[in-house]
Amino acid sequence: MTTENADLPVGTRLWYAWVCFFKILFDGTFAKRVWNAERGLSLTAAPPVEEEDPEKVLPSPPSTDAALQLLALFQREGRFVDFLEEDVTTFTDGDIGAAARVVHQGCRKALHDHCKVAPVRAEDEGSKVTVAKGTPASEVKLIGNVAGEPPFTGVLRHKGWRLKDLHLPTAIDAHDVTIVAPAEVEL
């Protein structure tokens, strides 16, 4: 099978579904084209696409390899996926706490070994802060009764986290990054 006929990876399809959701919601022409394509109707009824505006061009889907590698590291060091996939509804709080401690220690080790994170805001949580005009929305999420124009003054509920450095092992060519943890068979 050639790569142009191969299925898109799940992560790419999920990202593209998210993009298409908003494009369909806010772009009636695109929504009509998708509607027609879904029903096998001619796409020629859509207006011709003019020269593409760089701001309207969709970015290529991000590679999921780094995310999968990090997930595999969390699994290897802290059994993170095992913990999340376990049905803990029948466990006692003490059992959950003991398991969470092991998962926390391992995942924290993996995070510190491969990532450098720093708080987005330096102030203590619970302190009064001012969010200046022009602060990127990716850095601060305003919650509560948001009205008016910046600057905004409020109480810092969470400092946020910013990734300062990420260094993951280089995968060998034959490595399948979608295998987060191999099956283990004892002989």
Mark whether 129 and 105 lie in a shared domain.
Answer: no
For residue range 153-182, what is the model confidence (pLDDT) as tens digits?
A: 999 999 999 999 999 888 788 888 899 999
Question: CB–CB of 82/107 below 8 Å?
Answer: no
Q: If you ran DSSP here, which 8-state letter would residue 51 be given?
A: S
Average pLDDT over residues 68-87: 93
Q: Does 166 share its domain with 87? A: yes
Average pLDDT of span 101-126: 95
Domain-located, residue 92: yes
Is the domain of 108 the same as that of 168? yes
Tokens read off for 73: 């590291």
**Nearest by Cα to 152 from 132, 134, 135, 136:** 132
Q: Tell me the average pLDDT of the chain.
A: 84
| Residue 37, pLDDT score | 74
Q: Give the count of domains, the chain.
A: 3
Is 5's pLDDT higher than 60? no
Residues 6+ positions from 74 with CB-CB distance below 8 Å: 80, 81, 106, 107, 110, 111
Residue 112 lies in a domain: yes
| Same-domain status, 20 and 35 | yes
Structural domain contains residue 76: yes
- Confidence at 88, pLDDT banded by 50, 70, 90: very high
Residue 3 domain flag:
no
pLDDT band at 76 (very low <50, low <70, confident <90, very high): very high
Q: What is the CA radius of gyration of the chain?
A: 23
Domain range enclosing 135 = 121-159
Do residue 55 and residue 14 come from a single domain? Answer: yes
Type of residue numbered 56: K
* 187: in domain: no
